[in-house]
Homo-oligomer: A and B are copies of this chain.
């Protein structure tokens, strides 16, 4: 039994649900077949298991440290990352002409799932790099791509995203890093950057030849002052070491590691405060970090959000896989730990049973299964949308995919961050006291996963994004696109020959209608503060309804596949149906209280006063 990810589940999601084989009919993926997809998954599983998983605990226990000049990391990380790059995973989804495998995104994400499950902290170095290089690829000039994205996809350079500052986290409008013009260059308009960037994951290390920072900064306006708000923000490529015009690596740029952040978990990823332009280095003879502007001035945030949206789905997948591996660890433990007897057992001298036989332990395992398998399905669905956005049959299909991605991104980020952390909590509980010790793995998963509701937009920020922007954008086009898709699933599930799935469809339909009504009520309040006051409750109810849909989809397929299934497959489908049943009966009803609260436009939190605390 794999402790990373159930391949049977992955095959179900990819081939029985998302029909990813059909992608091979598209020109971009014409060289692929199920065999090449499977080979990529096999390779990911093998490298994750053999190179990433073994040092997961060690990287936690031997936290990176900074001697004032160098950051020290355990050597196993670089070995693993080199294996990842050597196998071509850095460019898995990229064009063949860039040296990529030209795999669909959904397959790339399925491969990433293995690495996240094995070692989320080591994986972060390369997965951030992929996002970084993809942003350069999308918005950069050919010269920028050649100098900074290509070496990243080749595995030579790693990348970061530098948004936050000590005084500006969620409020990016308040960043102070400034970029002063410094002439032109082979890589576009050149600037000198000055400022401090906080929470920079993978911001310093020696795992790669160079680190390419993508940095948000403000170019002073005509009055010499930074333009207030997000409108003044531009995006810059700021490499740790300068690149010569011929692509070779040159002198150190003016970027200094001010310190490492010491975290509760996710410790294997260095997280840094970086000082730009403080004069510790004087590239080309003077202080100031040299950076190259990407695209137009003052449009940096929009460019960065290309990377950020991918990063948010990546955070969701990381959260999912921490939950998933925790679930498998708990399952293995529960199957092998004898303790106690059945509630009906009379003889105290009878043998103990394995704890998986206790209903409450099964509850905890079933809850985990419903959270982690559901979250993985949602993440892969989003990745499948990325492929549709890129290679969909026509403009309409591609725009439709973009709309769905827009509205599902806050869910794909926040739902796993909340519920797969809850899964990790349950995985500890299944282990009892042992789960609370560092001799087992689950306490680390719990600590690692606690980061996910915070970074790349906190839970509350996702809520404001969903309720304040996504459901109303383009006159509600994204909301209605999603509603239509869910309605389609409901109609389908309502007609199959399976009474329980039919009932599930009906129950989801009721909640979906209420959600639409509530959305209208909230935006009809005429008071933006009141509309947004309970955005987080809205996000959570919305997320549970989306997840119920994801489970309805899985249940529909499982119910239909059961008839002709082998014994082994039948057990698998029974498991899917039971997890769907759990979600229907135990989880979905939770939204009723939330929707009622929202419908009442409750002002309890809005009315609370500072001096009443």
Contact = CB atoms under 8 A, between A and B. Distances in A.
Contact of A359 (B198, B581, B593, B605): B605
Interface string A439-464: 10001001100110111001110011
A450 B436 contact: yes
Contacts of A174: 339-340, 352
Per assembly, the copies of the chain total 2
Interface in A206-233: 228-231
A338 B585 CA distance: 43
A203 to B, nearest CB: 13
Given A349-B228, A447-B264, A604 B581 contact: yes
A488 interface: no
Interface stretch (A306-314, A316-324, A570-578): A570-578
A22 interface: no
A569 to B, nearest CB: 12
Given A340-B171, A529-B343, A536 B229 contact: no
A362 B608 contact: yes
Interface in A526-571: 528-529, 532-536, 571
Nearest to A459: B429
Interface in A352-370: 352, 356-363, 365-366, 369
- The bracket for how many chain A residues form the interface is 35 or more
Given A433-B454, A435-B454, A529-B344, A604 B582 contact: yes
A348 B173 contact: yes
B455 A528 contact: no
Interface of A: 164, 167-171, 173-174, 198-199, 228-231, 261-265, 331, 335, 338-344, 347-349, 352, 356-363, 365-366, 369, 425, 428-429, 432-433, 435-439, 443, 446-447, 450-451, 453-455, 458-460, 463-464, 468, 528-529, 532-536, 571-572, 574-575, 578, 581-582, 585-586, 589-590, 592-593, 596-597, 600, 602, 604-613
24 contacts: A170-B340, A229-B348, A263-B438, A264-B438, A265-B436, A343-B529, A356-B610, A358-B460, A360-B536, A362-B606, A362-B608, A363-B605, A365-B608, A425-B450, A429-B458, A436-B451, A436-B454, A574-B609, A574-B612, A575-B612, A578-B604, A582-B605, A585-B600, A585-B602
